[in-house]
Amino acid sequence: MRRIILLMTVGAVVVVSTLFVVSVAGAHKHPTAAMAQKHPTRKVMIQNFSFKPAHITIKRGTKVRWINKDSTAHTATANNGRSFDSGRLRPGQRYTHTFKSAGKKPYHCEIHPDMRASVVVKR
């Protein structure tokens, strides 16, 4: 009788640990969780009349968030005039854009045209 109980206990432990390993492996492969890890949002500060960092390289599908840390308004506007445009960002405001196509995306501030920067999007 004791031997049967022992065998059943060992069997239960094996089943439970197998299920645990399978569920952990499954969670690791979860596609949305993996995507979120792969493409964290990149931040660009607008400070002292410049974009910091001025040049970033990201993977396609990554979000870029501009945050205006200055005490005056700025914009982040694609040089081609249509890829993205934050509009007027007042102090403390932010703008987020998701880059879906690869290539170099130069941009500037509409209010201060000397403020120039770029985003390079890799496949």
Name the residues that contact Cu ion, by CB under 5 A.
74, 109, 111-112, 115
**E-strand spans in 30-115?**
42-47, 50-52, 55-59, 63-68, 77-78, 94-98, 103-108
Select 74 or 105, whichever has its Cβ closest to Cu ion: 74
- Other beta carbons within 10 angstroms of residue 50's beta carbon come to 17
Select 78 or 111, whichever has its Cβ closest to Cu ion: 111
Select 60 or 94, whichever has its Cβ closest to Cu ion: 94
Token output for 21: 């390993």
Cis before 106? omega within 30 = no
Query: CA angle 65-59-109, nearest 5°?
Result: 40
Shortest distance, CB of residue 46 to Cu ion, whole angstroms? 7
Shortest distance, CB of residue 119 to Cu ion, whole angstroms? 17
Select 74 or 97, whichever has its Cβ closest to Cu ion: 74
Shortest distance, CB of residue 50 to Cu ion, whole angstroms? 9
d(CA 108, CA 54): 10
Shortest distance, CB of residue 115 to Cu ion, whole angstroms? 5
